[in-house]
A and B are shown apart, each in its own frame.
Chain A
Amino acid sequence: MSRGYLIRRLLAVFLVLAIVTFAVFAITTMLPGNAAIMILGEYATPDAVAALERQLHLDQPWYTQYLSWVGGILHGDFGTSLRLSLPVTEVVGEAFANSAMLALTALVVVTITAIPLGALAAIKRGTAMDLGLGLFSYLGTALPEFVTATLLLVFFAAPQQGIFPAGGFVAPWESLTGFGAHVVLPAATLGLVLMAHVARQVRSEMSEVLSSDYIRAARLKGLSEKRVIRRHALPNSLAPAVAVISLDIGYLLGGIIVVEEIFAWPGLGRLLIYALENRDLPVIQAVTLLLATVYALSNLLSDIVIALLDPRVRYA
Chain B
Amino acid sequence: MRNFFSTPTAIVGTALLSIVCFAAIFGPFIAPYDPQAFDALNRLQGPSMAHWLGTDQFGRDLLSRILTGAPSTVAFGVGATVVGVGIGSIIGVVAGVSGGWVDSTIMRILDGLLAVPDLLFTLLIVTILGGGMEHAMLAVSIAFAPGMARISRSAVLSVRTRDYVRAAVARGESGFYIVRAEVLPNALSPIVVEATIRVSFAIMIGATLGFLGLGAQPPSTEWGLMVAEARQFMFRNPWCVAVPGLSIAIAALGFNLFGDALRDSLDPKRSHG
Any A–B CB pair closer than 8 Å: yes
Q: Is the CB of B248 within 8 A of A250?
A: no
Number of interface residues, chain A, beta carbon within 8 A = 50
Determine the main DSSP class of B at the interface with A. Answer: helix
Among residues 126 to 145 in chain A, which have CB atoms less than 8 Å away from a CB atom of chain B?
138-139, 141-145
**How many whole Å from A92's CB to the nearest CB in chain B?**
14
Contacting residues, chain B, for A272 (C-beta < 8 A): 120, 123
Question: Known contacts being A151-B245, A254-B120, is A211 close to B273, with CB within 8 Å?
Answer: yes
Contact indicator per residue, chain B 187-204, by CB within 8 Å of chain A (1) or not (0): 000000000000010001
Give complex CA distance A288, B200 in Å: 25
Partner of B108, one of A19, A159, A257: A19
Q: Could you tell me how many residues of chain B have their Cβ less than 8 Å away from some Cβ of chain A?
A: 44
A27 lies within 8 A of B248 (CB): no
Instruction: Give which listed residue, B112, B117, B224, B235, contacts A146 with CB less than 8 A.
Output: B224
Judging by beta carbons under 8 Å apart, are B119 and A258 in contact?
A: yes
Q: Is the CB of A147 within 8 A of B245?
A: yes
B123 touches A154 (CB 8 A): no
Give the residues from 111 to 131 in chain B that come closer than 8 angstroms, CB to CB, to chain A.
Answer: 111-120, 123-125, 127-128, 130
- Cβ–Cβ < 8 Å partners of B231 in chain A: 150
User: Is the Cβ of B120 less than 8 Å from the Cβ of A23?
Assistant: no
List, in ascending order, chain B residues with CB within 8 A of A153's CB. 234
A86 at the interface (CB under 8 A from B): no
State in angstroms the CA–CA spacing of A142 and B120 once bound together.
19
B138 adjacent to chain A (CB < 8 Å): no
- In whole angstroms, how far apart are the Cα atoms of A154 and B239 in the complex? 10
Whether B208 sits at the interface, judged by CB under 8 Å, is yes
Residue pair B128, A30 in contact (C-beta under 8 Å) = yes
Contacts of A251 in B (CB 8 A): 117-118
Q: Which of the residues A144, A291, A295 comes within 8 Å of B204, measured between beta carbons? A: A144
Stretch of B32-40, B57-65, B151-159, B251-259 lying at the A interface: B251-259
User: Is A284 an interface residue, CB under 8 A from the partner?
Assistant: yes
Assuming the contacts A32-B128, A295-B115, asked whether A144 and B123 have C-beta atoms less than 8 A apart, the reply is no
Contact A258 B212, beta carbon cutoff 8 Å? yes
A27 to B253, CA, bound (A): 32
| Alpha-carbon gap, A240 to B273, bound state (A) | 18
A residues 119-176 near B (Cβ < 8 Å) are 138-139, 141-147, 150-151, 153-154, 158-159
Is there contact, CB below 8 Å, between A255 and B119?
A: yes
- Greatest chain A CB density within 10 A among B120, B228, B234, B235 is at B120
Known contacts A147-B245, A154-B235; A253 and B117 CB within 8 A of each other: yes
A261 at interface by CB-CB < 8 Å: yes
Chain B CB within 8 A of A264 CB: no
Which residues of A, 1-47, contact B by the 8 Å Cβ criterion? 12, 15-20, 22-24, 27-28, 30-32
- Chain B interface (Cβ within 8 Å of chain A)? 108-109, 111-120, 123-125, 127-128, 130, 200, 204-205, 207-208, 211-212, 224, 227-228, 231, 234-235, 238, 241-242, 245-246, 248-250, 252-253, 256-257, 273
10 extra interface residue pairs, beta carbon distance < 8 Å, beyond A147-B248, A254-B117: A15-B111, A16-B112, A19-B113, A141-B200, A144-B204, A153-B234, A254-B118, A258-B208, A284-B124, A296-B115
Interchain residue pairs with CB less than 8 A apart (17): A16-B108, A16-B111, A16-B112, A20-B116, A24-B116, A139-B253, A144-B204, A144-B207, A144-B252, A146-B207, A147-B227, A147-B245, A211-B273, A250-B118, A255-B119, A258-B211, A276-B127
Contacts from A to B (Cβ < 8 Å): 12, 15-20, 22-24, 27-28, 30-32, 138-139, 141-147, 150-151, 153-154, 158-159, 207-208, 211, 250-251, 253-255, 257-258, 261, 272-273, 276, 284, 288, 291-292, 295-296
